[in-house]
Amino acid sequence: MINYNTFVDMAARSGSEGEGRVQRPSVSSCPVASGRPVIQRQVLVSLAAGLACVAVGSCLGWPSPTLARMSSPHWRWPGTGIAHQAHRQPRPLSGDEGSWVVSLMDLGVVLGSLPAGWAADRWGRRPILLLSAPLFVVSWLLVLVAEGPEFLYAARLLQGLASAVAMVVSAMYAGEVSEDGLRGTNSTLVAMLLSLGTVLSYSVGPYVTYRALACALLAVPALFVMCFCWAPESPHWLLAKGRRLEAEEALRYLRDGDTTSSGPLLVCAEADRIETAIVEASPRGTAGTATLLSAARELLLVSGPDRAAFLLVLGLVCIQALSGSDPMTAYSAITLPGGYVLDADQVVIVFGVVSTVSTGAGAVLIDRVGRRLLLIAFASLQFVSLLGSAVYYSLDERTEVDLAAVQWLPHTALVLYGVAYPIGLGTVPNALQMELFSTRVKGLALPAILVSFNVLTFTVSKLYEVVWHAWGKDVAFWVFSVDCLLAVLLATLALKETKGKSFPEIQDLLDPRRKQRNTPTWPS
């Protein structure tokens, strides 16, 4: 039997101006029929949308193999031609300029997140997600012709704007085309494909020229357009706009075009359930999008499940941002000590591959083990990895202890971090964002959370090198370690298990008073 409890997967705000009014249908008009569970097209469409996140990951990983090269005393900016570059005076990138190159992408994400969510609600998920591709292309063209750090600043801001669109809208889209049984798995595809993009930069960057790397990464958004241009619009967005026939066609396509006798009934029943949920979740029984002020009021002022979800997820993503993921991605090739068995570039490649495999494992484990246990276990493992690095760098920089025998420790700790972060803090908050919020507030909540995350990652990325040179590498690792302990504490005390639960059940977990209000009372 195919499960069509799709309340949790609606990622559109309700009640915008000019939006079509949806008539509440009778669910009984299209009886539910049993059919074979088909997931192939849902997964393929989610993967196609997630290719935009491969482009995001390639941008995140790009500084690691290139910063050391650009910091060399012999570095010449490429300019607009090979001959022109050969005659340029060497002009290396300074440490402060390098920190801006790393962190400005996060600033671009901050600036682009709210407009991306609004545009996806206004014009649809599909066209807005496709719009990220030309932004990525222009950014890589700026990298190719850079004549100074200013070109890279502009490129990284553009990459941040494009990444905001890709991350916000692909998360919405993947959740909205998925059945309940695939909800957690499809939401983690974003993180897995993002990790795959960083591996691409790590693996290609050390072995090709600056220009060749930029050309290789420029091909990623082109591949995304080729694979995603055939995908349908989100059926949830179409139903919220009153476009029932188009929504049914999209559902028919996503359910592998089932032509059996029960196929049309299943599509009709699913459309009825989605539409009914939109109506019930919308103010005054309309299926429009809530205003920003109304959504903000519900997230911040009204005591209820949406505010509880917002505070919980916001706390988790702040901890996620402060756990060191961005510095690990961008600076590892520079901060690691000399090679033990592998050199720093090779260890970073192993780190990227392990992170990608772990993210895939997280996609499988999250709907089997559960969110809460997964976060507690792997945030603890992440703490152990960061603690090992903190102890090593403290001994290395503040004592005269000979560490030659344990030179492997920071390399092993980085790989262990690559196992722990993608399964724990890198996966669970992303899945919770997809399933905890109601339709009324999701279009505001997701971008607001992404803005908060990237404000913190911008700060961490910009200050990491400052703290490193002012007080030592170990200080940052001690901070990251304490942060992971906070993740374990928050998950233990505040996170409720949502594995396999429908949206109403999740709302009852977040606000027990809601369950009491909705419990029928029977006359004696």
The whole-number pLDDT of residue 257 equals 54
Mean pLDDT over 254-268 rounds to 63
Is residue 491 in some structural domain? yes
Mean pLDDT over 372-382 rounds to 94
The whole-number pLDDT of residue 289 equals 45
Q: Which two tokens stand for residue 500?
A: 């396999």
Rounded Cα distance between 440 and 11, Å, is 9
The whole-number pLDDT of residue 29 equals 40
185 and 330 co-located in one domain: no
The whole-number pLDDT of residue 326 equals 86
Mean pLDDT over 96-108 rounds to 90
129 pLDDT band, cuts 50/70/90, is very high
| Domain residue limits at 412 | 302-511
The whole-number pLDDT of residue 299 equals 77
Is residue 524 in some structural domain? no
Last residue of a domain, one of 209, 241, 273: 241
Q: What is the CATH number of the domain that holds 46?
A: 1.20.1250.20
Q: Are 55 and 166 in contact (CB under 8 A)?
A: yes
18 pLDDT band, cuts 50/70/90, is very low
The whole-number pLDDT of residue 367 equals 79
Better-scored residue on pLDDT, 154 or 280: 154
Q: What angle do CA 130, 451, 324 make, to 5 degrees?
A: 105
200 and 315 co-located in one domain: no
Helix, strand or coil for residue 378? Answer: helix
199 and 317 co-located in one domain: no
Better-scored residue on pLDDT, 313 or 21: 313
Model's pTM, two decimal places?
0.76
- Residue 342 phi, psi dihedral angles, 5° rounding: -110, 150
The whole-number pLDDT of residue 274 equals 76
Burial class (CB in 10 A: 0-12, 13-18, 19+), 448: buried
Last residue of a domain, one of 200, 224, 241: 241
The gap from C-alpha 78 to its chain's centroid, in whole angstroms, comes to: 32
The gap from C-alpha 496 to its chain's centroid, in whole angstroms, comes to: 21
Task: Express as a percent the part of the chain with pLDDT over 70.
Answer: 80
Is residue 290 in some structural domain? no
Better-scored residue on pLDDT, 129 or 443: 129
Choice among 38-52, 90-104, 151-165 with the minimum mean pLDDT: 38-52
231 and 108 co-located in one domain: yes
221 and 342 co-located in one domain: no
Is residue 498 in some structural domain? yes
214 and 309 co-located in one domain: no
Q: Are 51 and 45 in contact (CB under 8 A)?
A: no
158 pLDDT band, cuts 50/70/90, is very high
Rounded Cα distance between 151 and 377, Å, is 43
On the CB side of 6, CA atoms within 13 Å amount to 29
Q: Which two tokens stand for residue 391?
A: 């102890």
Is residue 271 in some structural domain? no
Helix (H) or strand (E) holding 100: helix 95-123
Choice among 6-15, 62-71, 157-166, 239-248 with the minimum mean pLDDT: 6-15
On the CB side of 440, CA atoms within 13 Å amount to 21
Is residue 297 in some structural domain? no
237 and 306 co-located in one domain: no
Q: Is the pLDDT of residue 32 over 80?
A: no
Mean pLDDT over 249-254 rounds to 83
Q: Is the pLDDT of residue 181 over 80?
A: no
287 pLDDT band, cuts 50/70/90, is very low
Choice among 5-14, 118-127, 459-468 with the minimum mean pLDDT: 5-14
Is residue 202 in some structural domain? yes
24 pLDDT band, cuts 50/70/90, is very low
Mind giving me the DSSP string for 123-179? H-HHHHHHHHHHHHHHHHHHHHT--SHHHHHHHHHHHHHHHHHHHHHHHHHHHHT--
71 and 163 co-located in one domain: yes
Q: Is the pLDDT of residue 68 over 90?
A: no
Q: Is the pLDDT of residue 3 over 60?
A: no
Number of domains in the chain: 2
Rounded Cα distance between 432 and 5, Å, is 17
341 and 446 co-located in one domain: yes
The whole-number pLDDT of residue 282 equals 59
The whole-number pLDDT of residue 392 equals 94
The whole-number pLDDT of residue 449 equals 86
486 and 397 co-located in one domain: yes
Q: Are 120 and 168 in contact (CB under 8 A)?
A: yes
413 and 502 co-located in one domain: yes
Rounded Cα distance between 453 and 288, Å, is 28
Longest dimension (CA), the chain: 94
361 and 463 co-located in one domain: yes
Last residue of a domain, one of 241, 259, 276: 241
